[in-house]
Amino acid sequence: MRPLAMASLPIFLLLFLLPHCLALQLCTNSMAPVTLKAPLSFCAYNSSSCCNSTDDAAIQKQFQSMNISDSTCAAVMKSILCAKCDPFSADLFNTEPTLRTVPYLCNSTSSASSTPSKDSTKDFCKEVWDACKDISIKNSPFAGLPVSSSKLTDIWQSETDFCRAFGGSSSDNTLCFNGNSASFNESIDSTTPKGLCLERIGNGSYLNMAAHPDGSNRVFLSNQAGKIWLATVPEHGSGGTLELDESNPFLDLTDEVHYDTEFGLMGLAFHPNFATNGRFFVSYNCDKIESASCSGRCSCNSDVGCDPSKLGNDNGAQPCQYQTVVAEFTANGSSSTPSTATTASPSEVRRIFTMGLPYTSHHGGQILFGPTDGYLYFMMGDGGNKGDPFNFAQNKKSLLGKIMRLDINNIPSQSQITDLGLWGNYSIPKDNAYTVDSELQAEIWAYGLRNPWRCSFDLERPSYFFCADVGQETYEEVDLISKGGNYGWRVYEGPDLYHSPWAPGGNTSLDSINPIFPIMGYTHADVNTNVGSASITGGYVYRSTTDPCMYGRYIYTDLYAGALWAGTEIPENSGNYTGSRIPFSCSKNSPIPCDTIAGSPLPSLGYIYSFGEDNRKDVFLLTSKGVYRVVRPSLCNYTCPKENTTDTEGSTPGLSSAAGQLDNIRGRLVLVMITLLIWYRL
């Protein structure tokens, strides 16, 4: 008996520890729903749906085969089958390791929730039971019923038993189906942030910050010129500043990096297993005239219908003189403890990716690892020149204007790389978007972007992948990225149609695409900048306990505007956001005094290049005037009812006892799970 009992317990613990709710407009194939040009004839969805007409016809055929004699039962069963077409079907049918056969049915008396939620007062699970419990249904989708004609009462003795198996409530952080659509918890956090309080902890100007994978208070910082430093973040309230030795970088690549306005060391990512393998990756630009190792295929080539001789030049550069590179390096620690390393080898382990650029702008360059899949995501702009004249962003075979997803753990042989037409040393994840859309180049995860500048995953809901995309003339946008998603550029700039002044590469017709529009953004007219332009900088969903009134909100900014925005999801788990500008101030205890705007007490941040996040989930602003950290709101005299002002300065500010207890429970369960797994294998 021991093997059976011990095998089931770790699985239970694992399911408890994993986040259950995806909470995003996603279909069961992980792709975004499509915008219907005409209503579905059977399921009647008429705007956004996870079904097309072919899917709709298949569901109708399935329904007819069930041969349900009772009209009331037939109506509820039809709605259950058609839930596959709901824009939130990934949530409604989600369970590990396989999809459910029916959606979570809204159940106001669900055992998972002691208090009925506002949006689940319609007890649809009870409605299904009452309508169908004694009706024969062929090929029922309810798990446990035989294929032959059966009744619900053949398996479940009561409504309670049935709804325990199939019911759910959106109040327990799970979406549920109410018979018509996905149902959400409509409660809204009324604790509106009064402002964001910042402290200045460093004077250096950096473009990237990455938390040390060992979980400590150390971070890696890099500048655009090509240097990477290892730094220690001071404790809150200590009065300390960033500890790093400018004269002793962790890695110096300035001899390889071409540094100019939109060139340099653009991205930095550490392998999830860096603590044991020492692997990390750098994205940078090089000049093939200056460096013999700067050599790669041109992004403008016959494969994408582009002739380099027709590009013209950009600031005097020749087509593909400049390259974008992703290279792998290794830390200089011992083989058993690379996380203790304070330097890295300047020699590349391997060149992961190299591609020649058509112009001198719009080449993104950020890299990061997916928190759940371990793949490397690489953000690439449209290559430059006004209006993406060669329409690279919409070209499914071009890698410009795309987000790529690469497997760097399985390096193919050189012959395989050549045979597959890859751009370097990586393999293609087997579930990349090309498996659903065969026209897409295999590396592509999402497309239709102009210049994605700073993307991030929500640590608590990894399916939420945010990217800020820099606009052309009128609109700066924030997108939620999904598998195979087309974000519209250059057919659209944000929500507006765009017409390129020069289009030698042709145009993409409006009717041929299914664009995903921004969830947030602002027009250039909404901000006043000292350069007469705007350029969005994406940030993070705030998950620190330091400022509990900011918790769960997405923070973003503009390179030039010196303004901050917070995006709030309403209703929760819907993927619908409202962005609002928020005030900010400098902490009265700032270790380094903040510069101020002339004639005003407000802090002057200069150019806001990027954001950072450390292992305690605190958020940092990387600016031309230094490094700023978000601190507790009371230090700027902002009122936040949730803030625990009884904490000492050196403790974790604002940490609620409930959150602390939950983290403690999860931590102990992880240890228990590991122990049980080891014991079972022994």
For the stretch 460-490, pLDDT in tens is 999 999 999 999 999 999 999 999 999 999 9
pLDDT tier at 95, thresholds 50, 70, 90: low
Q: What string of DSSP letters covers 177-209?
A: E-SSSEE------------EEEEEEE----SEE
Tell me what pLDDT residue 16 has: 29
Residue 252 has pLDDT above 90, yes or no: yes
Residue 334 has pLDDT above 80, yes or no: no
What is the C-alpha separation between 291 and 529, in angstroms, rounded? 37
For the chain, the domains span: 22-183, 196-636
- Which of 34-48, 169-183, 307-321 bottoms out in mean pLDDT, i.e. has the lowest? 169-183
CA dihedral 137, 142, 146, 148 (to 10 degrees): 20
Q: Residue for token digits 């709709």?
A: 56
pLDDT tier at 119, thresholds 50, 70, 90: very low
Neighbours of 340 (CB within 10 A): 12
What is the C-alpha separation between 193 and 198, in angstroms, rounded? 14
330's enclosing H/E stretch is strand 322-330
Tell me what pLDDT residue 659 has: 41
Tell me what pLDDT residue 170 has: 66
DSSP strands (E only) in 8-102: 34-35, 48-49
Q: End-to-end CA distance of the chain, in Å?
A: 15
Neighbours of 681 (CB within 10 A): 7
The model's pLDDT over 196-211, given as tens digits with 9 standing for 90+, comes to 999 999 999 999 999 9
Residue 234 has pLDDT above 60, yes or no: yes
- Domain 196-636, second-level architecture: 6 Propeller (2.120)
Neighbours of 272 (CB within 10 A): 16
Tell me what pLDDT residue 188 has: 64
**Average of pLDDT values for 577-589?**
96
263: left (phi over 0), alpha (psi -120 to 50) or beta: beta
For residue 163, which phi and psi values (nearest 5 degrees)? -75, -20
Tell me what pLDDT residue 314 has: 80
Tell me what pLDDT residue 315 has: 77
232's enclosing H/E stretch is strand 227-232
Q: Which of 357, 439, 382, 373 is nearest to 406 (CA)?
A: 373
Contacts of 467 (CB under 8 A, 6+ apart): 379, 403, 449, 452, 454, 455, 478, 479, 481, 538
152: left (phi over 0), alpha (psi -120 to 50) or beta: alpha
Q: Residue for token digits 């590991």?
A: 674
Q: What string of DSSP letters covers 338-398?
A: GGG-S-B-SS-SEEEEEEE-SSSS-----EEE-TTT-PEEEEE---SSTT-TT-GGG-TT-
Tell me what pLDDT residue 8 has: 33
What's the half-sphere exposure (Cβ side, CA atoms, 13 Å) at 402?
23
577's enclosing H/E stretch is strand 577-582
Tell me what pLDDT residue 146 has: 63
Question: Can you give the pTM of this predicted structure?
Answer: 0.89
**Average of pLDDT values for 543-558?**
97
Tell me what pLDDT residue 117 has: 40
What is the C-alpha separation between 538 and 454, in angstroms, rounded? 5
The model's pLDDT over 143-179, given as tens digits with 9 standing for 90+, comes to 666 666 689 999 899 999 999 989 887 655 578 999 9
